[in-house]
Structure 1
């Protein structure tokens, strides 16, 4: 199985969009490639190329639906409660239609549907992922503060690179700690892996509720 983690930014901000590709090998996830400054077409081409050889799971860090009428989805409310219970701050969970989120939501919704339309010989599964919650739900409680500082602190990102290895993620490149977007892309892959692989399970999940919310949301 191929696992792809995508830290998505808004449609005009390709430079902060990062895609990482991994391959499952037993109980481990082995790094294959990392692509920065990624457009929608680059994402679709990469997913299509990878799906020619194996089944694919794609974890996307972006809203993949919005609440009809605006405001929080029920999944947003439930995830906010969950991360607060871990000792994390609630501010990283914002409604998809919030001013700061709406363009990211637009890109996530559009891209996920385009991935669904790809004609491939292997199955493609998509899940919405919150990378900060993926990390926070697996860190020891005493280290939860790292989720609040890793985006600004390279030393915390170096710690997380080593921590990913303990989670079974092998072969990460030396420069992975340079930007938080790269760390978030790896965390998105970790969450998607545990969601899809029957040997694992997500730490939190809100099931899809079609037709308006067609994808699971997990961490």
Structure 2
């Protein structure tokens, strides 16, 4: 099984979009490659290429639906409550139609529908993932400060800690350079969350099941 984590940015911001590919081998997630500065067509091609090899699970860090009428979805409200209970800050979860989020939401919805239309050799499944919550819900409470600070550019030491922590979570083969920026960490954490969502040997720390037709994908961390 191939697990792909995507840290998505808005449609005009390829630079901060990162895709990480892993292979599930027993109880390990083995790193294969990471691609940054990636366009929609490149994302689709990578997913299609991987689907010719094996089943693919895509964990995407972006809203994959929005609330009819605007504002929070149920998942946004519940996940915000969950991360606050962990000692995390609520501001990392914003309504999908909020000004700062709307183009990211547009890209996420567009990409998932295009993924569903790929002529794939093996099954492809999609889950919406919040990477910060993936990390924060698995860290010991006394170490939650690491998830509060890793996105700040100067905090490479914090990202190095999280890279090593992911190795402890059986995410193996991670290259040293993923601590350069938070988008690399987020793509890998999205893959970790998608792995635990799909693999029956594990389970998400938090899950809101899909509610079609308006919210067609599970949302987890």
Find out whether 1:143 has 2:143 as its counterpart: yes
Question: Per the alignment, in what secondary structure is the counterpart of residue 65 of structure 2?
Answer: coil
What residue in structure 2 maps to residue 116 of structure 1? Answer: 116
How do 1:1-219 and structure 2 match up within 5 A? 1-152=1-152, 153-219=155-221
Task: Give the TM-score normalised by the residue count of structure 2.
Answer: 0.99
Distance, in Å, in 1 between the alignment partners of 2:139 and 2:189 is 12
Distance, in Å, in 2 between the alignment partners of 1:79 and 1:113 is 24
Give the deviation of 1:145 after TM superposition: 1.0
Task: For structure 1, list consecutive stretches of 5 or more residues without a partner in the other structure.
Answer: none
What is the CA deviation profile of residues 38-93 of structure 1, one whole-angstrom value per residue up to 9, with x for unaligned ones? 00000000000000010000000000000000000000000000000000000000
Distance, in Å, in 1 between the alignment partners of 2:125 and 2:156 is 32
Give the deviation of 1:164 after TM superposition: 0.5
Distance, in Å, in 2 between the alignment partners of 1:214 and 1:207 is 9
Distance, in Å, in 1 between the alignment partners of 2:131 and 2:120 is 27
Distance, in Å, in 2 between the alignment partners of 1:203 and 1:113 is 26
Task: Give the TM-score normalised by the residue count of structure 1.
Answer: 0.99
Equivalences, count: 219
Task: For structure 2, list consecutive stretches of 5 or more residues without a partner in the other structure.
Answer: none
Distance, in Å, in 2 between the alignment partners of 1:120 and 1:88 is 38
Q: CA RMSD in A?
A: 0.4
Question: Per the alignment, in what secondary structure is the counterpart of residue 121 of structure 1?
Answer: coil
